[in-house]
Structure 1
Amino acid sequence: MKYRFIAIDGPMSSGKTDLTEVLGKHYRGRTVLDERDNNPFLELFYQDPERYAFQCQIFYLFNRYHQLVAIKQYDLFHQVVLCDYLFERDRLYAHVLLNDSELNLYDKIFSLLVGRVPKPDLVMVLQVSDNILWRRLRKLKKRDDYLFTKEFVFSINQAYNQFFYNYDASPLLILNVEAWDQIVQQADIQAIVHHIETLKGGRTYISPISSLGSLFGDRDERSSS
């Protein structure tokens, strides 16, 4: 497999963590998952978002930085690494959540760190429309997703779309997941694996209806990732 470090990203509830774990099993690779629940400022953020958004984002930024820097210690020649986020993802949330003065300080810290983290060989982004994303989130019981407003969810989704529209730092595989609900069997990932292993660089867009419709089952239970 020519791609040794793969980052999989997308807005909340798009299925990125599920896909990361399934592909990790397929390639017998190491998975790096976002530790979103270990943030000591999260409860305070729920109570007072405006006051604690900066502390919350800075913790996430440094936590993800340390996770990704550790990847340099892995033997990428012998084991594929799959991560369920791109480092730049945190900045998308920061631009939505922080005020101007907080964002200015955040960007200064971000600029010091971004050049030190390893760059993925391949980025996969999961795309879904605003309304379908909102409908999926409304069916969840997880507290952090459930508290998001429609305006916030739409803003994050649009930030993703805009960022990846201009992204050219690595080969990009764009998966439209509007018709997908949840990964079913490991054997069902063969279509995605085929696209990964035949991708020659640049930007590739995959429609689930024509080529990947069988990857996800039509289930009522949703996974937030």
Structure 2
Amino acid sequence: MAGEGSFRHRYVVVEGVIGVGKTTLVHQLARALGGRTVLEEFEENPFLPDFYRDRRAYALSTQLFFLMSRFRQQEVLAQGDLFMRRTVSDYLFDKDRIFAQLTLESHELAIYEQLFEVLRPQVATPDLVIFLRADHDTVMRRIAARGRSYELDMDPAYIAELADAYVDYFATYDGAPLLTIDTTRVDFRGRSHALDEVLRAVTTGQVPRVLDAELRSAGQQPSLPGL
């Protein structure tokens, strides 16, 4: 476990499209660092199952619920000991815009943006963002393997479009130090070279822009479908 004095990034966020392995890595990092986890509360959004069946009809209600839910969670963190404890989260508040821009009509987006601009200044900025990506087939296998009922109606084309939107967003992201990892052939469920490399970046503050080449050269085996 990293010592208190060596911990350079106290608030770490892991991001990426659904099924890419965010929550797995969050739990591993929190366990190794002796920190706490802050997880996105998908199951509590009552509009989500309907959204996956009819995105157009339920886009605004789904998006506004997520925005306010994430903000309330961030408010609790800000009032507590966010900067006194190591915290690892599986979402970046700012990424909410990725979904909004992808799913909302222009008049809906205008309403959303007004609310987002009021809330955003009150949210803490992470010390490090880890962006996970994987190829489309791998993501779809992982989604199917975990068998969440509300995910089974997802349109594969929407997931592919969402993954591309994530890549575009993080290509220009400059809100915090950013580490990008291709998880197509990386399994974070056990202690591995991949996890050790991520922990090194988190604890030393020496963050390469991309970790893919280092992980591939270390001979990582293909990840299992349920990651």
Write the deviation string for residues 33-59 of structure 1: whole angstroms up to 9, x where unpaired.
Answer: 000000122344345432222111100
Q: Which residue number in structure 2 is paired with residue 204 of structure 1? A: 209
1:199 Cα deviation (Å)?
A: 3.3
Counterpart Cα distance in 2 of 1:176 and 1:87 = 22
Q: Is the contact made by 1:34 and 1:84 (CA closer than 8 Å) also made in structure 2?
A: yes
What amino acid does structure 1 have at the position aligned with 2:87? V
- Map 1:1-20 to 2 at 5 A: 1-20=7-26
1:102 aligns with 2:102: no
CA distance in 2, matches of 1:192, 1:212: 16
How far did residue 20 of structure 1 move?
0.6
Contact 1:132 1:178 in 2 (8 A): yes
Alpha-carbon distance in 2 for matches of 1:20, 1:188: 13
> Given that residues 191 and 212 in structure 1 are in contact (C-alpha distance below 8 angstroms), is that contact kept between their aligned partners in structure 2?
no
Q: Give the corresponding residue for 1:169.
A: 175
**Count of paired positions:** 219
8 Å contact kept, 1:192–1:212? no
Q: TM-score scaled by structure 2?
A: 0.86
Please, which of 128, 135, 140 is the counterpart of residue 129 of structure 1?
Answer: 135
**Which piece of structure 1 moves more, 105-114 or 67-76?**
67-76
CA deviation after TM superposition for structure 1 residue 79, in Å: 1.4
Aligned residue identity for 2:210: Y
**1:133 counterpart letter in structure 2:** V
Out of 49, 59, 66, the position equivalent to 2:55 is 49
Q: What amino acid does structure 2 have at the position aligned with 1:121?
A: D
Q: Structure 2 stretches of 5 or more lacking a match?
A: 1-6
Which consecutive unaligned segments of at least 5 residues does structure 1 have?
none
- Which amino acid in 2 is paired with 1:210? S
Q: Percent identity?
A: 29
Q: What is the CA distance between 1:129 and its match in structure 2?
A: 2.5
How far is the alpha carbon of 1:60 from its aligned partner? 0.6
CA distance in 1, matches of 2:205, 2:8: 10
Which of 63, 67, 73 does residue 73 from structure 2 map onto? 67
SS of the counterpart of 1:34? Answer: coil
- What are the Cα deviations for residues 38-86 of structure 1, in whole angstroms up to 9, with x where unaligned? 0122344345432222111100110001111222233345410111000
Give distance in 2, aligned partners of 1:212 and 1:183.
16
Q: TM-score, normalised by structure 1?
A: 0.87
